Amino acid sequence: MSAARLLAAGIAMALAGEAWAVDFSAHGYLDCRFLARADERSFADGGLGKTRFGGGGTDATCVQAGLSATAVLTPSLLAQAELQYQTTDTNSVSLLEAYLRYRPVSVTPLRWSLKVGTFFPPVSLENDAIGWTSPWTLTSSAINAWIGEEFRGIGAEGRVEWRGERSTTGAVAALVRSNDPAGELLAARGWSLSDLVSGLGSRVREPDVYAVDENEAVPLRFNPFLENDGRLGWYAGANWEMRGIGSVSILRYDNEADPASFSRGRSPVFSWETDFWSVGARTRVGDVALIGQAMTGSTAIAPSPFFSTATDFRAAYLLAGWDRGAWRPALRFDVFSTDQLPREIANRVREHGNAITLALNWRPRDWLRLTGEALRVRSWRTQRLEEGLAALQTDTQLQLGVRVIF
């Protein structure tokens, strides 16, 4: 019996004798934008630009919508699912998350829970709103933009926490599958900053220059949520929170993919053996929220007995947000890099860069949020030389977002 089935059976037995009374709720949003696009062609259109909207010019469009539904089935059992519609070069409706969570009512300091289904790994400290969105900015940090596009576990997650008088200490561990290609984006195009999020069944666009290098037709897409080798991946972490002080967290992720495995079909998708460490912290100084996060890891592929390559990656950000009721200004600074190994590879791909995001949120009503955002990304990437571009580029993107919340 699989780990997910075993845990589901345990939940069913634990629920025996509990009263069932469904309490259902649903929330959603529609997000439209006025855009001044960055000049460089966006990664979403097969380019090497670091922003979601590129190619120059201005326009207005509705870019995405989300719906989150929650059913409290018993005092201990919750079911949740999230759907999203978003526009790219191919528009799509997809399932972001769907899971059951069992958390017994606790009257002691010890509390535990089990979650079964498909869900995001608990990496982000900024994306805690519907559809992997942030209450502070329109555009996610480089770290959380990557997690939103390539990571979704299908499996089971367990949590335990000890609630003291002033502090809470917790731990999390999970077994997941169907994420073997995760890591390909960092190798194929590097880091990006956007609010694009992949749902189950999504096909993510590769850079056109990468498709040409691989002798594939343009546009080239792949599904990041595949199981190629039958191995279970995992993550485990811990967190500590002190009331009035803040919190710190650490997470280790490893998809345990066989870098020689691949999916069958017209355009096989190889597995990338991807692991990383993520550490984060947040605190408040008066009305100012401070969030910081850093990540370091590696992704590797071995498509033949005669060739293998790895890409080391690092990224970090610091966000400061001022909570002034209806007004919420925010400033975030990102740094990021990748490095292809071994260094003997001809024309190996490397990059480094930084980004500054300045956002001003105004929420005059519970159902309305207006956000003005300026994003500047300065990055150096050797892959641009293959497109006849300078390796160093500066992408500037301006947005005015109108979000209707229901």
Pick the closest to residue 371 from 334, 326, 310 (CA basis): 326
Give the tens place of pLDDT for each residue, 61-72: 999 999 999 999
What are the E-state strand segments in 37-166? 58-72, 77-86, 92-102, 110-119, 153-163
Is 400 within a domain? Answer: yes
Gap between the Cα atoms of 245 and 250, Å rounded: 17
Q: Which of 89-93, 150-154, 181-185, 283-287 has the lowest mean pLDDT?
A: 89-93
Note the pLDDT of residue 4: 46
337 domain-assigned: yes
CA-to-CA dists, residue 101 to 30, 119, 157, 172, 234, angstroms: 27, 11, 9, 14, 18
Question: The pTM is what?
Answer: 0.93
Q: What pLDDT is stored for residue 251 in this prediction?
A: 98
Decide: 316 and 334 in contact? Cβ < 8 Å. yes
Q: Give the separation between CA 85 and CA 197, rounded to whole angstroms.
A: 10
Average pLDDT of 375-391? Answer: 97
Measured from the Cβ of residue 128, the count of other Cβ atoms closer than 10 Å reads: 10
Distance CA 39, CA 397 (A): 8
Pairing of strands 204-205, 273-285: unpaired
Overall average pLDDT of the 317-335 stretch: 97
Q: Is residue 87 part of a domain?
A: no
Could you tell me which of 239, 100, 232 has the C-alpha nearest to residue 174? 232
Mean pLDDT of 254-267: 89
Model pLDDT for residues 32-54, shown as the tens digit of each residue: 999 999 999 999 999 999 999 99
Which has the closest alpha carbon to 175: 99, 116, 113, 93?
116
Question: What's the CA gap between 137 and 256, in Å, rounded?
Answer: 33
In a domain, 254, yes or no: yes
| Predicted pLDDT of residue 366 | 94
Whether residue 97 lies inside any domain: the answer is no
CA angle 233, 237, 242 (to 5 degrees): 160
Residue 267 has pLDDT above 80, yes or no: no
pLDDT digits (tens, 9 = 90+) for 109-130: 999 999 999 999 999 999 998 8
Whether the predicted pLDDT of 58 surpasses 60 = yes
Q: Is the pLDDT of residue 3 over 70?
A: no
**CATH number assigned to the domain comprising residue 371:** 2.40.160
pLDDT tens digit string along 156-182?
999 999 999 999 999 999 999 999 999
As a whole number, the mean pLDDT across the chain is 93
* 62 strand-pairing partners: 32
Give the count of domains, the chain.
Answer: 1
Rounded Cα distance, 13 and 17, in Å: 9
pLDDT for 14 beyond 80: no
In a domain, 98, yes or no: no
Task: Provide mean pLDDT across the span 68-95.
Answer: 93
Say if 362 falls within a structural domain.
yes
pLDDT band at 19 (very low <50, low <70, confident <90, very high): low
Cα gap 136→29, rounded to integer Å: 16
Residues spanned by the domain of 267: 34-62+120-153+178-405
| pLDDT at residue number 13 | 46
Q: What is the pLDDT of residue 107?
A: 87
Asked if residue 170 belongs to a domain, the reply is: no
Q: Is the peptide bond before 259 cis (omega within 30 degrees of 0)?
A: no
pLDDT per residue as tens digits for the range 191-248: 999 999 999 988 999 999 999 988 889 999 999 999 999 999 999 999 999 999 999 9
Calculate what percentage of the chain has a pLDDT beyond 70: 94
Specify the DSSP element, H or E, that contains 373: strand 368-381
Q: How far apart are CA 28 and CA 310, in angstroms?
A: 40
Task: Give the per-residue pLDDT at 5.
Answer: 56
